Structure 1
Amino acid sequence: MKLISKILLLVISIILFIIPTYKVSFGIWFCFFPILYLITKSSPKEYLIYAILFSLITTYNLYWIKDYQTKAFFEAAGIWFFYLLVILLISKLIYEKLGNNLIFVFTPPVFYALFQHIHINSLEPFWLNIGFVQSNSAPLIWYIGGVGITFLILLFGSLLASFFSQKKKWKLVLIVFLVIIVMSSLLFSSLKNYDSDEKIKVGIVQLKNRRSWKWRVEHTDLLIERYKELTLSLRNFNPDLVVWPEYAIPADVYNNEELKRKIALISKDLNCTLVIGSLEWGKGRNHTDNVLVFNKGKLVGKQDALVVFPTDPTDPIALEGSTKKLFRTDKGNFTVNLCYEEVTSRVVRKKTSEANYLIFMSNNQDMFSEKSKYLSSLYSKLRSAENKRFGIRSSNHGYSQLISPTGKVIIRTKEQILKGEIPLIELKRSFYSKYGNLIINLIILLYFISLVNKVWLKKHKFS
């Protein structure tokens, strides 16, 4: 293969990887095909250059993270570059040593999944799970989750690379099988609608306030009045549930009787359940991110955030909480996922068992680009689909939305008020919600058994 053709394949791979972040999400299924195909057409030294370039340039895809923190972007870019480079080089090594076989085909997805597993029980990197751009893939995602969708994306690219390098019938059969499974799931997700005689009327309110943290803390009463005005404008809609975003009221509402009374009256006035984001001050600059739930004028519960995003040194330091709670109402049961929890699969899974729907509350105030707002909104879609639950996302200065259990957005807005309905129905938990990454873990185990067996047989064949 000529050098210009190899460079063209590298460029195509980079472009296909980047465009899903611009709402052309289907390109993600083909992005690894060209770079993995180059494994079969390049020398080890030559491929090292291509792997470095691909791993380095695709870190641009993470540039939106700078809206959270510049430091977070560089950390994410470094981890991404290292992981991807290692995966590509291991794949090249397997190809050189063991040939173009089934083990080679499964090497990229298996090692990518292993790197994801490193973070599953810690601070889970939201950018590592690239399956989040294909969350509307039920029923497939109900069994394998976002990690599984990511696995299939790499497997599909690897299969195409292997097939076009060495055409064999079993590879074509696997490709056709994957295409049928994925396309069927995408079609099912887009066409499946849920309905019931009983519905929950949902109102979401966000101020779109870009004032500084200090200003917001000093003007708590003004914020409450503004939220009250917007919330009471829903009166004719007669909502059952109203949700404000994370940090809607940057004050210790739980320990302030006057603030509690003001907000309880709003809930009583609308005769609804009102869910608000607030905080609880600790020592010094420390605070715990929390949510308060009022039902028809009474405070019925409080929940702390279990996982928070590492804050900038100039901001108050948010502490991880230690409570998880199911809130029960006459219009179904729900759990609340605050802050970084919407991108942390293990936390959402643990909260799902008895919930009819999931509430996601986030603070996108520091996000200035349309791209970052859009991408951050995809994680609530992913978690709703993984756990087969309706999702309600309230975001300060971002996308608020209602989500189907298939991952399809029912209604979405960046405006201050969203009004919509979701059916009140009982849905069984998904396989993934119950057992996590069991299917992918079994595939990884089988891969390493096969790899060890292949290496052992090859060693003894020539000994």
Structure 2
Amino acid sequence: MAGALSVFAFAPFDYTISVYVSLFALLFILDNKSAKHAAGYAFLWGLGFFVAGLHWIAVSILDFGGLPVPVAALLVVLLCAYLAIYPALCAYLLNRFTSHSALLRYFVAFPTIWLITDWLRGWIMTGFPWLQFGYSQMDTPLVSFAPILGVEGVTAAVCLITASLYYAYRERKLVLPALVITVIVISAVSLKGLQWTTPEAVKSIALVQGNTDQDEKWLPEKRAEILNQYLALSLDNTDADIIIWPESAIPALEFQVKNYLEYVAELMRETNTTLITGIINYQRVDNIDEYYNAVIVLGTPEQDANHSPVNDRYYKNKLLPIGEFVPFEDLLRPIAPLFNLPMSSFQRGGEEQLNLAASNVHIATAICYEIAFNQTLVNTVKADTGFILTVSNDAWFGTSIGPDQHLEIARMRAFEFQRPVLRSTNTGITAVYDAQGKEAGRIAQFKKAVLRVDVIPYQGTTPFNRFGNTPLLILALLLFTSVLGHYFFSKNTVDKNQLKSSV
């Protein structure tokens, strides 16, 4: 129950205080437990947290995976059980090496170890960095740490504040906790408004939300209707500088609609507009079929000699397990329809790809799930990148809280890189955030519409953009090493004293 409470700190609920209550309860539960028992309790806490926060994954398993409810529930619980290993590891290390010092335990070890294990969760086996605590703080002063330390730094601040509060409760000492929390809050407030990037000329953007039914999207008889619908919505907005369609908006392989794409590109050139759309690219290389989840530019992207190289297409790098690739596919695909979802055999694009170019603006791109990997964007957002574009299709998850969480994650990228984030989706939520993370407009879910927004591109680099999460991780590892050193030094001292007493 304590773990499940955390979910209310995230979208669409946004009760920020619940994450502090949940973490406080976890520290209370772990207090005076052996390392083994602490790991067990933290595992249960993590299971509650992730089941409450990720139960919406079952929607796609039930609606598109062809599995019965009990099996879908079991798969979600198994995923959440795996994710719960990381808070369990944190609790084990915390209680194994810091039971001798409350100061070290709460002001150094807990935020440090949580940061390391949370990072591991976002890295091992391609990673799943969903529901990091920093995402719950975007309407609090703590978000001011994001341009310097990323969402991980905001998460560490949450952990340190909670640990300070628990130390005050446990030890009945208020001065040090009050000082630590005051320093954190004053630092965050003083950073608010600090601008690392500079504005450029305003651009008019039109984001098209087609609201195509996922059950009908790939039916051949529906292709012409869907293509005409997107084109009709766009022709009414050719006075925009850039028109954006969502992930795989075109329900066909790229070569199958070559004439259509050429026709649209010519229309864009005639109106001096650039169109960006998601599409599925197919190639045959060395007798092997290769499919890529792609974004392409239609029109006439121009490259300024003074800017970094650009491209007219982007291939998704961070693929969604099961949904876009199947690990151990020879073993798993025969088991159930879940492992044979449409478009579940993609190849990866390169880790560092060139920016797209549209209307003389350079655009860093992330497709759907990729937007959760801020370190990947560190490699693609350059000093002359004007926007961050993320295209998605959350129709897989119906009316659940999943799309709200996804939008919340995209918003954090605006704070980290101090650039506008344009989010174009098939069924919603389509939205735009400016370089300060403020919402500039949105289209509600399951509505066919066009979002027109004037957006100011920004150029430059934030500290996080330049260094990523590397400095914070190095600091965390150094602090954890100091925790281990203190533990073994104290243990040796105790052993020596015991030996002297025996003698």
When normalised by structure 2's length, the TM-score is 0.79
**1:387 Cα deviation after fit:** 1.6
Aligned residue runs from structure 1 range 375-394, under 5 A: 375-394=405-424
Deviations 1:345-393 (A, max 9, x none): 2221111013111111111121212411111112221222212211111
Residue 432 of structure 1, aligned match among 464, 483, 491:
464
- For residues 124 and 414 of structure 2, what CA distance do their matches in structure 1 show? 20
Residue 369 (str. 1) matches residue 396 (str. 2):
no
Match of 2:116 in 1: 114
Change (3 A) 1:197 1:177: closer
**1:72 Cα deviation after fit:** 6.8
Match of 1:412 in 2: 442
The range that moved more, 327-336 or 408-417, is 327-336
**1:275 Cα deviation after fit:** 0.1
Match of 1:161 in 2: 166
Match of 2:53 in 1: 61
Aligned residue runs from structure 1 range 55-204, under 5 A: 55-58=46-49, 59-69=51-61, 70=72, 73-96=76-99, 98-118=100-120, 119-120=122-123, 123-135=126-138, 137-166=142-171, 167=173, 169-182=175-188, 188=193, 198-204=201-207
Residue 22 (str. 1) matches residue 12 (str. 2):
yes
The range that moved more, 345-354 or 255-264, is 255-264
Change (3 A) 1:411 1:138: same
Residue 332 (str. 1) matches residue 361 (str. 2):
yes
- For residues 362 and 295 of structure 1, what CA distance do their matches in structure 2 show? 22
- For residues 408 and 401 of structure 2, what CA distance do their matches in structure 1 show? 11
The range that moved more, 19-28 or 411-420, is 19-28
- Identical pairs, percent: 17
Change (3 A) 1:197 1:457: closer
8 Å contact 1:286–1:319 — kept in the other structure?
A: yes
Change (3 A) 1:121 1:346: farther
Residue 313 (str. 1) matches residue 340 (str. 2):
yes
8 Å contact 1:265–1:297 — kept in the other structure?
A: no
The range that moved more, 405-414 or 144-153, is 405-414
**1:20 Cα deviation after fit:** 2.7
The range that moved more, 361-370 or 443-452, is 443-452
Look up the equivalent residue of 2:462 and give its one-letter code. S
Change (3 A) 1:21 1:72: farther
8 Å contact 2:206–2:453 — kept in the other structure?
A: yes
Residue 268 (str. 1) matches residue 269 (str. 2):
yes
8 Å contact 1:402–1:410 — kept in the other structure?
A: yes
Gaps of 5+ in 2: 62-71, 303-310, 324-338, 497-503
**1:281 Cα deviation after fit:** 2.5
Gaps of 5+ in 1: 1-10
8 Å contact 1:25–1:134 — kept in the other structure?
A: no
Q: Secondary structure at the match of 1:278?
A: strand
**1:17 Cα deviation after fit:** 4.4
Q: Secondary structure at the match of 1:77?
A: helix
- For residues 120 and 406 of structure 1, what CA distance do their matches in structure 2 show? 28
Residue 37 (str. 1) matches residue 19 (str. 2):
no
Residue 302 of structure 1, aligned match among 308, 313, 318:
313
Match of 2:66 in 1: none
**1:172 Cα deviation after fit:** 2.1
Look up the equivalent residue of 1:110 and give its one-letter code. T
Change (3 A) 1:327 1:48: closer
8 Å contact 1:26–1:134 — kept in the other structure?
A: yes
**1:254 Cα deviation after fit:** 5.2
- For residues 296 and 162 of structure 1, what CA distance do their matches in structure 2 show? 60
**1:179 Cα deviation after fit:** 2.8
